[in-house]
Structure 1
Amino acid sequence: MSTLHYVTTNPGKVREAEEYLGADAVTQFDFDYTEIQADELGPIAAHGAREAYREVGEPVLVDDAGLFVEALGGFPGPYSSYVEDTVGVDRVWNLASDEEERRAYFRCTLAYCDGAEFDASPDPIDRDDRVAAAAAGVEEDEPADDAEPGTLPVKLFEGAVPGTMVAPRGDGGFGYDPIFEHDGTTLAEMDTERKNAISHRGRALEKFGEWFAER
């Protein structure tokens, strides 16, 4: 089987992937793919996976993640990294603190591409940057959609962690971890093992790992 390339500059993501997929199953691939602008994570990750697959020619895994605050209409969402760099975590908390309802989610979408078609399954398949519900209720010999010939299909796997926006607490983690509380503890107050056990990326990796084992 070809090597599975996790496209990231963050070795921590690769270590987390190894926990779910095995130490010999995945390798880091440092590739600066084009990050398109979109209001959802799926199209961003899918575009990156297609571009990365065309670069390396072997199976690739790309992720995109973000913090979604319900009372702020899902902001910062797919723009989380940009907002962190330009607006800052403290200002995001200031916005959320003005709201009575402070529910939020960390979400991650993994996109897998290996240049081949996929069997129907309950997980979504993205074709040409459109997320299509893959196969529930569709007959096996019926096409999942009308994608143009040559389009690279991408398999998407999603994970999410529910939480609450709170005033900054904790010295660990990074990014929005100090203002995101899960089960009474901010992510910045958790050690790495506990954080990885409940992480949105880990939940997406678990789904992917179960499917990939049958691939």
Structure 2
Amino acid sequence: MLHYVTTNDGKLREARAYLGEDAVSGYNFDYTEIQSHDLEPIAAYGAREAYRQVGEPVIVDDAGLFIDEFDGFPGPYSAFVEDTIGIERVWTLSEPLADRSASFRCVLAYCDGGAFKASPDPIDRDDRVTAAATGATADEEESQPLPVKLFSGAVPGTIVEPRGSGGFGYDPIFEHDGTTFAEMTAEEKNALSHRGRALAKFAEWFETR
């Protein structure tokens, strides 16, 4: 059984839409979220830690809202910003910007304790991202890293005044092609969302695993 390490029912529904209703289960585990300006190391570290806890194949994701004029902020700190100041204040800060371009980005990390043959090589330590994804943590030997396979997805949009009652998180202030994510049905959002795009790549690869 594949375990999606999340307590967010919306994420789990999205994963099941791509992987099958009975193919993935939710798993509640409070893995360590390391501090990083990039999503990849955060998701990879969580996947390794979650695999050690579960002992079976796991997927962990890290996602964020990246606002161009804020140099990508809040990015990996999106959940913290949402919890502390709320999405309405993010809109208030963004409203005066001449360019409110932004993107939702997601990185999905998979770990099952085994090695991967798929490219890019997940143990290529010459690459910063994949090295972070497979490097040994403080409690494991450098010679025995746990490989992690990464899948990314992104969708461009614009920050707007909150609209809509659906979705979760920043969905009400993120507009794509004239419609906020909160104004879309779950099916419409899943078809183009950043997480959906990462899940689609993962689902295609996972069929060969």
Q: RMSD across aligned C-alpha pairs, in angstroms?
A: 2.2
Aligned to 1:26: 24
Please, which of 51, 58, 61 is the counterpart of residue 60 of structure 1? 58
Aligned to 2:68: 70
Asked if the contact 1:41–1:108 (Cα under 8 Å) also holds between the matched residues in 2, the reply is yes
Aligned to 1:8: 6
* Deviation >6 Å, runs of 4+: none
Query: C-alpha distance in 1, partners of 2:166/2:77?
Result: 22
| Offset at residue 214 of structure 1 (A) | 0.8
| Offset at residue 71 of structure 1 (A) | 0.6
Aligned to 2:45: 47
| Structure 1 portions without partners, runs of 5+ | 134-144
Code of the aligned partner of 2:114: A
Q: What secondary structure is seen at the aligned counterpart in 1 of 2:98? A: coil
Aligned to 1:211: 205
Query: C-alpha distance in 2, partners of 1:26/1:47?
Result: 20
Aligned-pair identity (%): 68
Give the alignment's TM-score, normalised by structure 1: 0.87
Asked if the contact 2:135–2:145 (Cα under 8 Å) also holds between the matched residues in 1, the reply is no
1:80-119 aligned within 5 A: 80-119=78-117
Aligned to 1:142: none
| Structure 2 portions without partners, runs of 5+ | 137-141
Give the alignment's TM-score, normalised by structure 2: 0.89
1:123-182, Cα deviation, whole Å (9 max, x unpaired): x73789x5138xxxxxxxxxxx99842111110000111101111222222221111100
Q: How many residues align?
A: 201
Query: C-alpha distance in 2, partners of 1:101/1:126?
Result: 39
